[in-house]
Amino acid sequence: MDNRDSIKKRICHSRIISLRLKDRISQLPDEILTNILYLLPVKEATRTSVLSCRWKNLWTYVPSLIIKDYMSSPEIELRPVRKCRFTLDVFRTYNPSQELTILLDYDGTTSRDVNEWINFAMENWVKMLDLNLEQYYTIEKKFPVMKDFPLTKLFLTEVNVIGEVLEHYVSNCPFLEELYVSSSNSLVNLRLVDQPPKLSIFQVAHCSNLENLEISAPNLVSFGYVGPKIKNMTLKHVPLLSKVAFGGKYCESIEFDSDQHASYLSQLKKLVLYFTKEVVDRTLLFPYKLPVFCNLKKVELKVHTYLGQSLLPLIALIIASPLLKIFSLELEMDYSHKPSENEKLVENYNIWKASKHPHQCLKKIKWVGFDGSGSHVDFAKDLLDVAVSLKTFIIDTVYPNIALSEDHAEFIKRWQIAVVAACKIAQAHPGINYFIDC
Partner 1 sequence: MASSSTSVVVSNKEKENKNTKKVTLKSSDGESFEVDESVAMESQTIKHIIEDGCANNEIPLPNVTSGILSRVIEYCKKHKEAAGESEPSVTSYTSNSTTNPLTEWDTEFVKVDQNTLFDLILAANYLDIKGLLDLTCKTVADMMKGKTPQEIRETFHIKNDYTPEEEAEVRKENQWAFE
Q: Which is nearer to partner 1, 41 or 174 (CB)?
A: 41
CA 310 vs. chain centroid, Å, equals 29
Q: Residue 246 in 3-state DSSP?
A: strand
**Which candidate, 349, 395, 341, places its Cα nearest to that of 368?**
395
Contact between 89 and partner 1 per CB under 8 A: yes
Does residue 56 interact with partner 1 by CB under 8 A?
A: yes
By the rule CB under 8 A, 345 interacts with partner 1: no
- Judged by DSSP in three states, 261 sits in helix
Cβ at position 169, least distance to partner 1 in Å? 19
Task: Decide: 374 and 404 in contact? Cβ < 8 Å.
Answer: no
Is 86:64 a contact under the CB 8 Å cutoff?
yes
Site string for partner 1, 115-154 (x = CB under 8 A): ----------------------------------------
For 342-366, b/e burial (b = at least 16 CB within 10 A) is ebeebeeeeeeebeeeebebbbbbb
Site string for partner 1, 316-335 (x = CB under 8 A): ------------x-x-----
Pattern 206-245, partner 1, x by CB under 8 A = x-----------------x-x------------------x
Residue 45 beta carbon to partner 1: minimum distance, rounded to whole angstroms: 8
**Taking CB under 8 A as the rule, which mask of x and - marks residues 255-274 in contact with partner 1?**
-----------------x-x
175-194: contacts with partner 1 (CB under 8 A): 180, 182
**Nearer Cβ to partner 1, position 37 or 365?**
37
58 binds partner 1 (CB under 8 A): no
Sheet holding 212-216, edge to edge: 189-193, 212-216, 232-236
DSSP letter (8 states) at residue 78: P
d(CA 124, CA 149): 8
CA distance 333 to 305: 5
Q: Give CA–CA dist 52/50, Å, rounded.
A: 6
Q: Is the dihedral of CA 182, 211, 174, 123 positive or negative?
A: negative
- Specify the DSSP element, H or E, that contains 345: helix 341-347
Which of positions 399-438 make contact with partner 1 (CB under 8 A)? 419, 423, 426-427, 430-438
CB of 37 to partner 1, least distance (A): 8
Number of residues engaging partner 1 in binding (CB under 8 A): 71
Nearer to partner 1 by Cβ, of 28 and 193: the residue is 28
User: Is 6 near partner 1 (CB under 8 A)?
Assistant: no
To partner 1, the closest distance from the beta carbon of 372 in angstroms equals 14
Minimum CB separation of residue 188 from partner 1 in Å reads: 19
Residues 285-304 that bind partner 1 (CB under 8 A): 300, 302
Residue 160 to residue 164: CA distance in whole angstroms:
12
Does residue 26 belong to the site contacting partner 1 (CB under 8 A)? yes
CA angle 380, 381, 382 (to 5 degrees): 90
